[in-house]
Structure 1
């Protein structure tokens, strides 16, 4: 290095830093190192899909291949002849290849990708090439060779791989300035895509993982930079207190998954009682829940707060023409398939050349022996004379040959043994030549129809090796889980209203609600100011708090009713509004903004309720009307910044609650999205109906289990569900089923007596099976029997049996084997009309607490009770 600044140092300022310029070898070394790491270590080649160390391992295994297993340590040592790095890196790379279960036939403990257990030492495990690897990876005749790092041996530049190996195995590496992450894809799907490409059809490929699980590939972006996939564990519910994880996401192990669940439990975002790992050949993690914890909500919480859901960002970077390039996996497959076609063409051309050479020499051999040309050399005394004599003897018989005779051909003729000449069979020689001609014609036909030959090649690969390589990862669209909706609220929120503090550490003050660390809280003050802030141990939000709650973002059903005075002596206004989203820690003035404004009345209504209140004025001056009622339901719900409607310009003495209100919101429409198996209010999927607070969903599955549930958006549904609809208690459920114990078919109709209980309505014998179920009022069904001699039967289920209890066996339909039951169009249903009831002036109709007297006023015992200011309604 040379110093750029050679001026003397000023003694007054002491030693100063000098600027140095990097020159010489240092200038290029970093670039050389970066190029080496990119090209020779971290990034796979597009032609064969291997990194250099993988290529050298497979080449060494081919060198050592004798059909038997070799010690991995022996293979590693042999690979070091080609690979300029240590044995540990070679052994690790070999284990990774083996765990992908494609190229290496393993013996011994090679580790476990499910549990994360490492492989045994290389001296204890053995390996050999798989039959698939021997078929598609190697062919020395089509391989280009180069000198090894020390020049002592030859190694392949690229292995002649006739399969999209890079996409089947995947690859991951970090180089200098770039990285690559290519996800593995399904063996059979890659073959199908290659065939489609050869046929000129469009195709798409998505990842598939040996760990199984579920993946949302909607943003895969063909594996390019900027894409993303989400992977989830497969979680199911055994019972109300136990969940089981049977498949884990790619990139995790059972150990890391369990650790993440325990950490989330310690943080309080989820709540579990115990976790049990029963993983052996297959994953089985049991998650035991405490009493009172929702399994559905816990499943969502596992996805939101643990490694049960991960996000993977693919980045397809490969080496092409000695340079790194970023392309999509579809382009990788196209390039790989085209390269396979080129290799197949090369193999066919080599095979054709070999067959033609065999045919050429077999023809020469036949001419040489059949025409006894070998006798012409008896009188020759020199080698040149022998060659010339044979050449002259062959000339009259070689017009049909495809190429000229060379001296090498003649030398080979002289090497024919006397024994072969004496036992030469002309007929066999003709048959052999004809067989060669057939093979030549076949190879030429393959070359002429190269694409069809390549398609057949891929089909044969799938037929030979595709069994047992079916897709393991389920492809599904994921619904977005809102963390605040599924978090376990294990922290208590407190408030000091007068001093204006809120937080989880104020345990001596007023308890508000359970909350979680990730929650936001909404606060309303007496001065009409609202703000939203994060849950913390202690936060000052302003004095005179009138309402505080855990905030639900985008909640359009919670409606706030408010009456406030504008300024110290101004008029009073009333308003209804909701809060769907605001900037955190910003104060919002809900009044008209006049200094001295004050909230006189405030309620928070989770379902949009609108109460009636009595306004009482102060007796000042000549005011005639001091009291009147106002119904909040007459007021439209507007934005929080609206001024509101005028109540009065006079001073209000007090506001009294006259009657509690009912919801002014429309019933909530709920849809079911079959793609993600979830309920939603975003108009995705099929509309189930409009639901009020008391309405429920009816669910029936193929096992004959019926239940009703509240339509909560977090509910999970089983795959064997056959009925999902709004439950109408008056509608009977009709079913045709096979009783395994009696070995007969029965029909039953029943109502649900206990909506809170899950019940089985067919017999619980293992062979019992539900044929059809209908929730129509008057269903019709057609029965097709297995015996052709029995005619089809049409059944009116309403006439066949009356509505009975859910535990009733039903009426016997038949003991003959039924082939199929088909529901027909139901008969029209006309609801029964209720006759009008005539009453006298003196008659009284009673209904619970409310009594209606026809000749008097309406009396409501509930509403006549005087309400105080305690409870949910706050009165000031």
Structure 2
């Protein structure tokens, strides 16, 4: 090694720090290595979508292709003639291509992308090129060639791929200081997008994963850096204690998914009984739940705490002109489509040239034989004389040719056998020339209408190879799962009220509730202080704790009723408030802020209940009235920092609860957002109705199942749901269905008797089909009859379902709709009917439920101010 290559210059400054400068070979080697890895190993080329090893595998398979399967070990060995690396890297790359089921027709155990099982050894498995690969990947006539690494053979610089292959297969690689992650897209959608691009229309393409699943592409960002794709497993409820996972997120397999579920269970974030993996050709993972565990909340918990939901960050990076190029998937498709058009053009131009050459020689051959030019060479003694004689004999007959005659043309004419000349058929020769002229005209037409030709090419690919390649991944917008609402309560919370401690380790003290280790806890003390803090083993809040509970952020329905004394001897105030947002571990004062304030009465009400309390004053001076009642329903709900209304300026002896209250909040309005298939209270989607504590939802599915449930926002809904509305118990359900066993249409009307129970209301015969279900009071239907041979078609018949059949049990067969053959049944507009009004308690309006910032504080006393009566004994409400 040269002296320059070993040069290390060490400089020491005053602080004895050593600075090492790298020069010579060391300076260049790293850059050379990084460039090599980027260009030759990790990142695909934009022209054909292949990495070098993939391109060499495809080239080797074409070398070996004879229509039969080859041992993968044989293909790997052949590829090593072109690839400078070992057999292991080639075999792994080939298995990855084969598992994508597009370019390679595989035979044997090639592994399983669903379970993560590896492929068998390369000597046991076989492969050959697929028909699609032979169609779109190869064309030696328009391929640019280069020497292999050892200069013994020729290999393609890029394969002439006439399809957006990189987007169809996806690509992933990690280089030095650079990476790429191009997600796979749907075969049919890519062709449709290419056609739209050629027609000058806009298009959008989104990934489609071989593992199926559900995906939210809201932030896909065209596959560029900074984008994000959220993918979820498809989970459904098999029964009340069993969940089934039928599709998994891209980038996972059943083994890693099950491991993540077991870890979440061990950490107490979810609670399961056992897991069964029945995956074979399709994914089937059964998750058995203990009794009493909500399936809907468990589904959300699986998304929140396991690999059932994952996030993928795409990064579009390709090689162009031997440099990395960051590009979005839309631009990739445009570039690939334009490249395909150019390749098709080059192929047509080559065909045109070939046809023209064939036409030229066929015309010469006809002249040579028909005009007996071959006789002119009989008297020639030299080769030059022969050439000259033929040339002279052809000249009078070649005015219609497209180009001049060359010596090579004349040499080819001399090679025609005597037997062929003797059997020459002028008509057949002319037919051949005419056919070539038709082919030339056709190719010229394609070149003149190149875009239309390219569109037809893509449509042919879709027709021939698109069957069975429909989209697998369902596109959906996700709603974020709030982990605090779905996590299993895996620990217990205790409180020492007198000393002011809360925590999970105070097992000798008072038990409060079950909680999780990610919950926040809200605490009130007798001195009017409030704090929200995270669950911990032991936390000091302040002495004389009067209320401890799990805190729900943005909870407007939990209302706190409070009466407090302002200062040591100040007046007594009453207030009602909600706590929606605070700063964690900050102490808030719920009183007016004066020292020695004390809470006389406090209650926390999860649904805004307002109780009646009795005030007792101390005997002092001329006070006449020492006792009276106050109803919290008469107090307006305001901000937590409000001062409150004056109760009395005299000394309070005690306060007693006289009567428990009912909710003073309005019924909760609930909407259904069809985009995310979830309930919400944020006005997104369609308003279902206003719900009180015991109101339920009615759900009916196309498969003939119904149930009523409480409207919990965590509820999941099946894809075949056809009715979702507020359940009115006295409102009948009307059904028309085809009974598969009796092969007749039946009508039934019934009421739901078992609330909360899932029941079937049609027979379970495989041919039974639900036609119409109505929850209107007076539904109407129309019957269209089938025309029978030799008879006139019977007129349509309208029936009133209320009059057609009385209300019976849900399991009743019902009445036969008609004896005639039915073509179809249509639902009509229902008859007008005034439904009986529901009788409900009168609600007190909530005038102030605004969400305050954590730092807001009211300084003025609430208005209107209460007035005391003549005796000064208290507030008049």
Identify the residue that residue 816 of structure 2 maps to in structure 1. 812
Identify the residue that residue 68 of structure 1 maps to in structure 2. 68
Identify the residue that residue 656 of structure 2 maps to in structure 1. 656
Identify the residue that residue 702 of structure 1 maps to in structure 2. 702
1:54 aligns with 2:54: yes
Superposed, 1:439-450 pairs within 5 Å as 439-450=439-450
The whole-number CA distance in structure 1 between the counterparts of 2:621 and 2:453 is 106
**CA contact under 8 A between 1:744 and 1:816: conserved in structure 2?**
no
The whole-number CA distance in structure 2 between the counterparts of 1:645 and 1:152 is 97
The whole-number CA distance in structure 1 between the counterparts of 2:11 and 2:97 is 57
1:790 aligns with 2:794: yes
The whole-number CA distance in structure 1 between the counterparts of 2:398 and 2:835 is 101
The whole-number CA distance in structure 2 between the counterparts of 1:81 and 1:743 is 68
The whole-number CA distance in structure 1 between the counterparts of 2:814 and 2:114 is 49
Identify the residue that residue 522 of structure 1 maps to in structure 2. 522
Superposed, 1:297-376 pairs within 5 Å as 297-376=297-376
The whole-number CA distance in structure 1 between the counterparts of 2:769 and 2:70 is 54
Report the secondary structure of 2:237's partner residue: strand
Deviates more, 1:357-366 or 1:62-71: 62-71
Change (3 A) 1:591 1:832: closer
- 814, 821, 825: which one aligns with 2:825: 821
Identify the residue that residue 37 of structure 1 maps to in structure 2. 37
TM-score for the superposition, normalised by structure 2: 0.92
Q: Deviations over 1:231-257 (max 9, x none)?
A: 111111111111111111100000000
Identify the residue that residue 867 of structure 2 maps to in structure 1. none
Identify the residue that residue 580 of structure 1 maps to in structure 2. 580
Identify the residue that residue 119 of structure 1 maps to in structure 2. 119
Report the alpha carbon displacement of residue 470 of structure 1 after superposing the two structures with TM.
Answer: 1.1
Report the secondary structure of 1:325's partner residue: strand
Identify the residue that residue 593 of structure 1 maps to in structure 2. 593
Identify the residue that residue 207 of structure 1 maps to in structure 2. 207
Identify the residue that residue 151 of structure 2 maps to in structure 1. 151
Identify the residue that residue 273 of structure 1 maps to in structure 2. 273
Identify the residue that residue 854 of structure 1 maps to in structure 2. none
Report the alpha carbon displacement of residue 202 of structure 1 after superposing the two structures with TM.
Answer: 0.9
Report the secondary structure of 1:217's partner residue: strand
**CA contact under 8 A between 1:708 and 1:727: conserved in structure 2?**
yes
Q: Which structure 1 residue ranges, 5 or more long, are not aligned?
A: 835-876
Report the alpha carbon displacement of residue 830 of structure 1 after superposing the two structures with TM.
Answer: 3.8
Identify the residue that residue 416 of structure 1 maps to in structure 2. 416
Report the secondary structure of 1:814's partner residue: coil
**CA contact under 8 A between 2:73 and 2:123: conserved in structure 1?**
yes
Superposed, 1:374-413 pairs within 5 Å as 374-413=374-413
Identify the residue that residue 692 of structure 1 maps to in structure 2. 692
Report the alpha carbon displacement of residue 6 of structure 1 after superposing the two structures with TM.
Answer: 6.5
Deviates more, 1:458-467 or 1:490-499: 490-499
Superposed, 1:714-863 pairs within 5 Å as 714-787=714-787, 789-830=793-834
**CA contact under 8 A between 1:564 and 1:598: conserved in structure 2?**
yes
Q: Deviations over 1:785-831 (max 9, x none)?
A: 12262211010112222223323333322132322211222112145
Change (3 A) 1:832 1:290: closer
The whole-number CA distance in structure 2 between the counterparts of 1:561 and 1:452 is 75
**CA contact under 8 A between 1:746 and 1:813: conserved in structure 2?**
yes
The whole-number CA distance in structure 1 between the counterparts of 2:39 and 2:755 is 67
Report the secondary structure of 2:219's partner residue: coil
Deviates more, 1:392-401 or 1:714-723: 714-723
Change (3 A) 1:627 1:458: same
Report the alpha carbon displacement of residue 170 of structure 1 after superposing the two structures with TM.
Answer: 0.2
1:675 aligns with 2:675: yes
**CA contact under 8 A between 2:195 and 2:455: conserved in structure 1?**
yes
TM-score for the superposition, normalised by structure 1: 0.92
The whole-number CA distance in structure 2 between the counterparts of 1:19 and 1:235 is 58
The whole-number CA distance in structure 1 between the counterparts of 2:821 and 2:480 is 47
The whole-number CA distance in structure 1 between the counterparts of 2:585 and 2:336 is 56
Report the alpha carbon displacement of residue 363 of structure 1 after superposing the two structures with TM.
Answer: 0.7
The whole-number CA distance in structure 2 between the counterparts of 1:741 and 1:27 is 83
Report the secondary structure of 1:350's partner residue: helix
Report how many aligned residue pairs link the two structures.
829
Report the alpha carbon displacement of residue 329 of structure 1 after superposing the two structures with TM.
Answer: 0.5
Change (3 A) 1:703 1:20: closer
Q: Deviations over 1:264-318 (max 9, x none)?
A: 1111111111100011111111111111111111111111111111111111111
Change (3 A) 1:670 1:545: same
Identify the residue that residue 131 of structure 1 maps to in structure 2. 131
**CA contact under 8 A between 1:2 and 1:20: conserved in structure 2?**
no
**CA contact under 8 A between 2:217 and 2:475: conserved in structure 1?**
yes
Identify the residue that residue 427 of structure 2 maps to in structure 1. 427
**CA contact under 8 A between 2:7 and 2:24: conserved in structure 1?**
no
Q: Deviations over 1:78-103 (max 9, x none)?
A: 21222122211111111101100001
Change (3 A) 1:116 1:6: closer
**CA contact under 8 A between 2:10 and 2:21: conserved in structure 1?**
no
Report the alpha carbon displacement of residue 538 of structure 1 after superposing the two structures with TM.
Answer: 2.0
1:19 aligns with 2:19: yes
Report the alpha carbon displacement of residue 465 of structure 1 after superposing the two structures with TM.
Answer: 0.7
Report the alpha carbon displacement of residue 2 of structure 1 after superposing the two structures with TM.
Answer: 4.2
Report the alpha carbon displacement of residue 704 of structure 1 after superposing the two structures with TM.
Answer: 2.5
Deviates more, 1:30-39 or 1:172-181: 30-39
Deviates more, 1:431-440 or 1:802-811: 802-811
Report the secondary structure of 2:427's partner residue: helix
The whole-number CA distance in structure 2 between the counterparts of 1:833 and 1:753 is 21
The whole-number CA distance in structure 2 between the counterparts of 1:642 and 1:85 is 76
The whole-number CA distance in structure 1 between the counterparts of 2:730 and 2:360 is 91
